[in-house]
Amino acid sequence: MLPRELKADQFSSYPSEAKALAVENLAVLRELPLSFIPSLLREVIEFDYKFPAERNALERELANLSHLSSTERSDLMQGFSSITVSARLEHFDWVNFPAQFVEQLSAHLWTTHQLDTFRLAANAYADCLHAAVPAQAPPIPRLGITVVGASVDSYREPLFRKLRPHGAYFSDVVPENGLEALLAAVAERAKVHARPYAHWYIDGGESVAHSPSLTTVSYAALDPVRAALLRKMHAEIEKPGMGPEALRTTMAQLRPVDLGLGAPGNDVLDRFQVKLLTEGSGTQIFSTSFTQWAAREALRRAEPTTLLVRFAPRQRQKPMNELLSPDAGSAELDPVGSLIDADMGAYYNWLNQQRLPGAEVSAFLAWFEEHNSAVVIGPTVPRGTVSNKSTDMKQLLSWIV
């Protein structure tokens, strides 16, 4: 089937809001090339489970396409229209399985030497979209906080070396009640600037007491979910002929209910957590990988104005088959190795925050938990400076919040 043959009833299996969105934009969808439309429908079909920032971006993209004339739309899609698609892909059910179509299209583009053409067309479209629909600045400056080094007694190597050139390093931070002060600060922002999914707390271990107004993701809280996933992965791996691509496809099809989630009213966050575990590399078995991927995806998808990320010790490296076994038993932790992971993770968190609108006024704080080292980055903080004076967490926060 080609896009021009689309009918409203072909979206009957979509969730309610996604279906309404597709039908509302049916006239536009009919004019899009087959090499492009499944990528768009892959986002539309997930509309009911997207965060507000994602919904807004998709609605603005569709509105922009709708406001173009047929000629303007044709010119915009010229690069995609030049791509030839096989008859097998034309007969694929790309309406109901757009993500699977995109995977097969990628292989087709590679084998037919059209990958560069597609990349150029995609870049040109993205440039035009960003020009027509510029990114929206957040209502308040973003605040990112990363806490590293839980359970580490001592560490002699310098921390935050990649972050220090961008802000001020403090070597004598009073550690008492530091985490409580950070949680209180993000809770206050959530109270004063309340918006759905705007204020997050991600913990690589067991989350500590915090305000219910925060969107919370905890590695420890997902222990039963991860165990269920590992059992399913292990069962699939044991099947003859099962390869990594087939396993990835199987994992991508898992729903929250398949892993013991699915509480009423929690669809969006449940879907997010399942994707963390089924799409991330190592998120099922390493808490640091889970924490890093959760922070990345929260920033990319939800674009929060407040994000507190706390790394916790991960298990030590073992043979992969042993790590993936659902009967692996209790894990031996590696606090120092986890600190090294988290130190780099803090830098990545700052980089990912800087990619969002309003980066020039955003603030960031990284702290070695229960120790004296911290770095603060913000528009009023002198770059590349060092302070050896005693200070506490509340004072650090006062300079950037």
Examine the domain organization and report whether 225 and 196 are in the same domain.
Answer: yes
Its pTM stands at 0.93
| C-alpha count within 13 angstroms, C-beta hemisphere, residue 174 | 12
Percent helix, strand, coil in the chain, to 5, is: 50, 10, 40
Examine the domain organization and report whether 345 and 221 are in the same domain.
Answer: yes
Examine the domain organization and report whether 256 and 355 are in the same domain.
Answer: yes
Domain region containing 284: 143-398
Examine the domain organization and report whether 321 and 256 are in the same domain.
Answer: yes
Residue 386 lies in a domain: yes
The residue among 71, 101, 132 that closes a domain is 132
Sign of CA dihedral 137, 165, 300, 117: positive
Examine the domain organization and report whether 76 and 196 are in the same domain.
Answer: no
Residue 137 lies in a domain: no
Judge whether 214 and 201 are in contact, CB under 8 Å: yes
Examine the domain organization and report whether 90 and 166 are in the same domain.
Answer: no
The residue to which tokens 């089937």 are assigned: 1
Examine the domain organization and report whether 46 and 183 are in the same domain.
Answer: no
- C-alpha torsion angle, residues 76, 79, 81, 86 (rounded to 10): -150
Which among 56, 13, 16, 47 is positioned nearest to 271, based on CA atoms?
A: 47
Examine the domain organization and report whether 283 and 340 are in the same domain.
Answer: yes
The residue among 95, 112, 132 that closes a domain is 132
Examine the domain organization and report whether 199 and 110 are in the same domain.
Answer: no
Q: What is the DSSP string of 363-395?
A: EEEEEETTSS-EEEE-TTSPTTEEE-S-EEHHH
Examine the domain organization and report whether 100 and 167 are in the same domain.
Answer: no
Which conformational region is residue 308 in: left (phi greater than 0), alpha (psi within -120 to 50 degrees), or beta?
beta
The residue to which tokens 């929060």 are assigned: 304
- Please tell me the total count of domains within the chain: 2
DSSP letter, residue 331: P
Q: What is the DSSP string of 169-235?
A: EES-EE-TTHHHHHHHHHHHHHHHT--TT-EEEEESSSPPS--TTSEEEETGGGHHHHHHHHHHHHH
Sign of CA dihedral 191, 195, 196, 198: negative
pLDDT by residue, tens only, the chain of 401 residues: 899 999 999 999 999 999 999 999 999 999 999 999 999 999 999 999 999 999 999 999 999 999 999 999 999 999 999 999 999 999 999 999 999 999 999 999 999 999 999 999 999 999 999 999 999 999 999 999 999 999 999 999 999 999 999 999 999 999 999 999 999 999 999 999 999 999 999 999 999 999 999 999 999 999 999 999 999 888 888 788 777 777 888 888 899 999 999 888 899 999 999 999 999 999 999 999 999 999 999 999 999 999 999 999 999 876 666 676 666 667 789 999 999 999 999 999 999 999 999 999 999 999 999 999 999 999 999 999 999 999 999 999 999 98
Examine the domain organization and report whether 7 and 121 are in the same domain.
Answer: yes
Examine the domain organization and report whether 125 and 157 are in the same domain.
Answer: no
Element (DSSP H or E) covering residue 88:
helix 87-90
The residue among 66, 99, 132 that closes a domain is 132
